[in-house]
A and B are shown apart, each in its own frame.
Chain A
Amino acid sequence: MNSAVKNLNFRTVFDAAADAMLLTENTGHIVLANPTAQQLLGYSADEMKGLAIEMLIAPRYRKQYRYYQRLFLNRPVKRSLSVGNELIALNRDGKEILLDISLSPIKTGQQLFILILFTIANRRLDTEDALRSSEERLRLAKQAAGLGIFDYDFKRNIIYWDRQMRKLWGKHSEKTVSYEEFVAAIHPEDREARQAAIDKAMDPNSNGEFKAQYRIINPINGVERWISARGRVYFEAGYPHRLIGVTRDVTEQRNIQKKLQVHRNETENILKQQVAARTASAIAHELNQPLAAISAYSEVVLHALQNDSFSADNLKRALEGCVAQAQRAGRSLHELLAFLQKGELMTERSNLTDVIHGALSIVYNDGYGRFHPILHLQQNLPAVQCNRTQIQKVLVNLFRNAIEAMRNIDFPILTITTTVQTVNDKDVAVVIVQDNGPGFDQVVAKRIFEPFFTTKPSGIGMGLSISRALIEDNGGQLWVDSDAKTGAKFHFTLPFGP
């Protein structure tokens, strides 16, 4: 052996290696690190010495590395951990580096050292990447996107086109085509609009952008396809020189769109029919209940008169029932009509406290149910601008809902609060109506203002949607606080008067 070679010691080779190398004890502590390793990991030789190799590995890979190390120490033979077994190391700055690692045992006397050799795995991937030509990529992308490319030379009046386009035009072999021939395949109805788009793009004052959709008819099989074309006109010395762009067959897309439109129209019609049917059914129910009662009461009276057999008390009860039920039917109708035909809104300066008291007395006199009101009405609240009757109607509706919701509560409390809040830099009056009933979940809260949505089996689900419409007509907003821990909490705002 050459004596020079003989004289090369381990350390010289170790330090000269272009690959990063570490020598560790079998405990995993670093004894030596070569300059490449120092550079790669960003540590100095002194810093590396004595460091546990594990500390250089990203925490989530440490367990895996410990496993390799144990495996290795059980049977210390050379092994490469490269294929599919990359490890992530951390450099001194904490940056992660993907490494291929190999472990080799070096036994001197009783001492076992481990030589660790590592290279950056990314480098290999980068090289593979570089091999892929950008042209190939472009071709594949174009194919995947179904794009055809054209280049229209204005001066020579010819079009250069690719295979994709030639196929669509039914001219498989011709690498170029005259403009007239190109246009001949375009559906006569679409030619004018397309030409206008080209003329516009050729205007030197424009940005040269070209965009058109047209049909082409394949001269061989007569099949009609929809084409979407986009491109740009390039100018030379201020004159349009060529139009380069791409085309795409959008026939399927247009068919789907058309089908979707038809489908959407159908759905819309069904929905309209359903709304109409539900409206009719809601009105029918709302009127049929009082009618049923009126009819029965009247027959009772009639029969009593014929037989002269009934007590005056019962006759009175029947007739009073008739009156009350006829009025109930009328009220339902008016509420529906108020919702359906909104007339001119007359507003006036109103004292909100008075309106609230008015609504409360309506609910009391109705005998709608028992409840204990707690009022937190702000003193000296400025007058609001609203239609009193409508706001009262909304309040009565909210109160009734609350009372109904508290039907099974031992001590039903209706809390009514008024305050001033600033919304969009403007002060508005806020009214909060809260009950201590069971409240409702998010799902119900989301739908509660929809027409015909109701949680009451005999309700028609118009109350809250009408209320919201009325408050909005008065320039306010009505919403529900679905996060309220107990009970439902409705809020509405009203603008202050001038």
Chain B
Amino acid sequence: MQEPTVFIVDDDAAVRDSLTLMIEQAGMHVQSFENAKTFLNAYQPNFFGCVIIDVKMPGMDGLQLQEELAWRKILLPVIFLTGHGDIPMSVRAIKGGAIDFLTKPVIREKLLICVRAAFTEAKKRLSDADLVK
């Protein structure tokens, strides 16, 4: 099986860069995108791992991207990044199948636990999908 990758979608260059460093340092692959559109354009069916999405973004926001992923049947587990976890939004995101919420500033330990859980979920989703086939 190919190595899992963490895809980051966040409009803030500094947030993207610092999280990239943090995840790379933990020995994982990272690819980052400045908005939902560039991510969707770049998406390949062999993308495997998880996607960290900033809730507040220009154009398509995080929750809209989550919907779009579900609609396109993209199985990547979603982790949300948010400045402040307001409850109605969190409920919507979790109902939409998000793995977890990370509040900025993100703690390294929590981020890595989240990502590893997401990778496990990704493998499960992949094998479930294989079973269906």
Interface residues of A (CB under 8 A from B): 284-285, 288-297, 299-300, 303-304, 309-310, 314, 317-318, 321, 324-325, 328, 456-458
- Can you name 5 A-B pairs with beta carbons within 8 Å? A289-B104, A295-B107, A296-B18, A296-B105, A309-B25
Q: Are B104 and A292 in contact (CB under 8 A)?
A: yes
In the complex, A295→B19 CA distance in Å? 10
User: Which residues from chain B sit less than 8 Å from chain A, CB to CB?
Assistant: 11-12, 14-15, 17-19, 21-22, 24-25, 56-59, 61, 83-84, 104-108
Docked-complex contact B12 and A303, CB < 8 angstroms: no
Question: Contact: B18 with A314, CB < 8 Å?
Answer: no
Q: Which residue of B lies closest to A292 (CB)?
A: B104
**Interface pair B84/A289, CB less than 8 Å apart:** no
Residue of B nearest to A322 (CB): B18
Tell whether A321 pairs with B18 under 8 Å between CB atoms, given A303-B25, A310-B25: yes
> Which of B14, B59, B107 neighbours the largest number of chain A CB atoms within 10 Å of its CB?
B14
B57 touches A296 (CB 8 A): no
User: Within the assembled complex, what's the spacing in Å between the Cα atoms of A309 and B105?
Assistant: 24
State whether A457 and B18 are in contact (beta carbons under 8 Å apart), knowing that A295-B105, A304-B25, A310-B25 are contacts in the complex: no
Q: Across the interface, which residues of B come within 8 angstroms of A303, CB to CB?
A: 25, 108
Q: In the assembled complex, which residues on chain B have CB atoms less than 8 Å from the CB atom of A456?
A: 58
Q: Known contacts A296-B22, A297-B21, A457-B56; decide if A288 and B104 are in contact (CB<8 Å).
A: yes
4 interchain residue pairs of minimum CB distance: A295-B105, A296-B18, A292-B104, A293-B14
Q: Compute how far the CA of A318 lies from the CA of B22 in the bound complex, rounded to whole angstroms.
A: 9
Q: Which of B12, B21, B104, B108 contacts A458 (CB 8 A)?
A: B12
Bound-complex Cα distance A288 to B104 (A):
7
Q: Is the CB of A296 within 8 A of B11?
A: no
Cross-interface CB contact of A295 among B12, B21, B24, B106, cutoff 8 Å: B106
Q: In the complex, how many angstroms separate the beta carbon of A370 from the nearest chain B beta carbon?
A: 15
C-alpha spacing A172/B20, complex, angstroms: 90
Quick check: B18 and A293 within 8 Å, CB to CB?
Answer: yes
- Chain A nearest CB from B92 CB (Å) reads 18
Q: What is the CB-to-nearest-CB distance from B84 to chain A, in angstroms, rounded to a whole number?
A: 7
Complex contact A292–B105 (CB within 8 A): yes
Specify which of B18, B25, B105, B107 is in contact with A288 (CB 8 Å cutoff).
B105
A288 to B15, alpha carbons, bound, how many Å? 10
Question: Is the Cβ of B22 less than 8 Å from the Cβ of A299?
Answer: yes
CB-based contact A457/B25 at 8 Å = no
Which of B58, B105, B108 makes the CB contact (< 8 A) with A457? B58
A291 to B15, CA, bound (A): 9
